[in-house]
Amino acid sequence: MIKVGIVGGTGYTGVELMRLLARHPRVKLEVITSRSQAGSAVAELFPNLRGQIDLNFSEPAAGSYRDCDLVFFATPNTTAMSQAEELLDAGIRLIDLAADFRIKHVPTWEQWYGATHACPALLEEAVYGLPELNREAIRDARLVANPGCYPTAVILAVMPLLANNLIDPESIIADCKSGTSGAGRNASVGTAFCEVTESVKAYAVSGHRHLPEIREVLQTLDTGADLVFTPHLMPIIRGIHATVYADARGSADQVQSLFEDHYRDEPFVDVMPAGAHPETRSVRGANICRIAVHYLPSANKYVVLSVEDNLVKGAAGQAIQNMNLMFGLDETTGLEAPGVMP
């Protein structure tokens, strides 16, 4: 059994990790930490876990994880980097669901996150945890940077196009929509029910923290890659819908089969039939990114539609997929459930 700790068990990604790991056949949850809820029962705060997890929240401290093989950080940015070196030195492997290790270039990270990086030496070692891109490196990793939710949807949408030189790499436009759970569990006016229901709005148009992450990863596929990225808030709880546009190069005759071939062996990427329009509700609760590719001959552009559950393939599910790879398991273990409808 893999002995697992979760740092920050009271946020939405933390409880999603617990929901999925509670039924994982090869995991034993050792410790779940929370400063605000230390001493209280997990099932008291999250009644959906009654009968599934019989643990109390603990104070977060390095000693709390001494019996763990792996620790997930489901915490705000800058938390994992303050404890990473100590835990790695103790032989504990880490998966950070925040952004501390996603961007390799230190000045870029510090510019976008407004802090001095506490352990820049670990950035080179950290593996970007998108299995469809870095599967073999993830298997051997001590430290995995779990991708952001928007980056997962956007990168998977354009990977086949960039890898096959089918688009102008500087022409990418990602128009993305997310549910309110992406903003976290802390109360705020901007995500209150009365503020978001029956309304859609763009935000961070001048620059979102996921922009440099997407750009850096896409440039590993094509050094000239760049994009415009605009996120929007939707009046739904879960789900991301990314509509990605790019100028086409060459013939588009084989693009459907190219996408199907590229992702044929990927258990968590579903390429839909030609002309399809994936819906966020179809991936709710599932570790699936569902994709459809379209070509607009009048504009000579590709339009790729990409949907995922931001809390699963965009966060906790992908983190468990990475854990499975790191410990030599079939990467689908514990993640086989389909989406929940309606």
What token pair was written down for 185?
A: 């569990």
Same domain (yes/no): 117, 190: no
Determine contact, residues 46/32, Cβ cutoff 8 Å: no
Confidence of residue 251 (pLDDT cuts 50, 70, 90): confident
| pLDDT tens, residue by residue, 3-61 | 999 999 999 999 999 999 999 999 999 999 998 888 899 999 999 999 999 999 998 87
Q: Is residue 320 part of a domain?
A: no
Same domain (yes/no): 211, 301: yes
Q: Is residue 132 part of a domain?
A: no
Same domain (yes/no): 112, 173: no
Q: Is residue 141 part of a domain?
A: no
Same domain (yes/no): 121, 248: no
Determine contact, residues 285/312, Cβ cutoff 8 Å: yes
For the domain that residue 283 is a member of, what is the CATH number?
3.30.360.10
Give the pLDDT score at 63.
80
Same domain (yes/no): 74, 174: no
Q: Is residue 93 part of a domain?
A: yes
In the block, residue with structure tokens 């950290």: 126
Give the pLDDT score at 39.
86
Same domain (yes/no): 21, 156: no
pLDDT at residue 240 above 90? yes
What are residue 224's phi and psi, to 5 degrees?
-90, 5
Give the pLDDT score at 161.
97
Q: Domain count for the chain, please give it.
A: 2
pLDDT at residue 186 above 80? no
Residues 308 and 293: their CA atoms lie apart, in Å, by 15
Q: How far is CA 273 from CA 154, 235, 254, 293, 336, in A?
A: 19, 28, 13, 9, 22
Q: Is residue 328 part of a domain?
A: no
| Domain span at 296 | 149-310
Give the pLDDT score at 89.
96
CB atoms within 10 A of CB 219: 14
The C-alpha angle with vertex 324 and arms to 322 and 326, in degrees rounded to 5, equals: 70
Q: Is residue 174 part of a domain?
A: yes
Residues 227 and 192: their CA atoms lie apart, in Å, by 31
- Summarize the confidence of residues 104-117 as an average pLDDT: 96
pLDDT at residue 129 above 90? yes
| pLDDT tens, residue by residue, 276-321 | 999 999 999 999 999 999 999 999 999 999 999 999 999 999 999 9
| pLDDT tens, residue by residue, 314-333 | 999 999 999 999 999 999 99
| pLDDT tens, residue by residue, 77-104 | 999 999 999 999 999 999 999 999 999 9
- Summarize the confidence of residues 183-187 as an average pLDDT: 77
By percentage, how much of the chain surpasses pLDDT 90? 89
Q: Is residue 96 part of a domain?
A: yes
- Cβ burial of 116 (10 Å; 0-12, 13-18, 19+) is exposed
Check if 289 is active-site: no
* Lowest-confidence region among 52-61, 118-127, 178-187, 321-330: 178-187
- Cβ burial of 183 (10 Å; 0-12, 13-18, 19+) is middle
Determine contact, residues 71/80, Cβ cutoff 8 Å: no
* CA-based nearest residue to 279, from 232, 236, 321: 236
Selecting among 149, 176, 194, 289, the annotated active-site residue is 149
Residues 152 and 132: their CA atoms lie apart, in Å, by 10
* CA-based nearest residue to 37, from 62, 50, 56: 56
Evaluated on CA atoms 120, 126, 129, 132, the torsion sign reads positive
CB atoms within 10 A of CB 44: 12
Average pLDDT, the chain: 95
Helices (H) and strands (E) in the chain, counts: 11, 14
Q: Give me the sheet containing 2-7, strands edge to edge.
A: 57-58, 27-33, 2-7, 70-73, 93-96, 143-145, 127-128
CB contact set of 158 (below 8 Å; sequence gap of 6+): 167, 172, 218, 244, 246, 304
pLDDT at residue 342 above 90? no
For the domain that residue 44 is a member of, what is the CATH number?
3.40.50.720
Give the pLDDT score at 184.
79
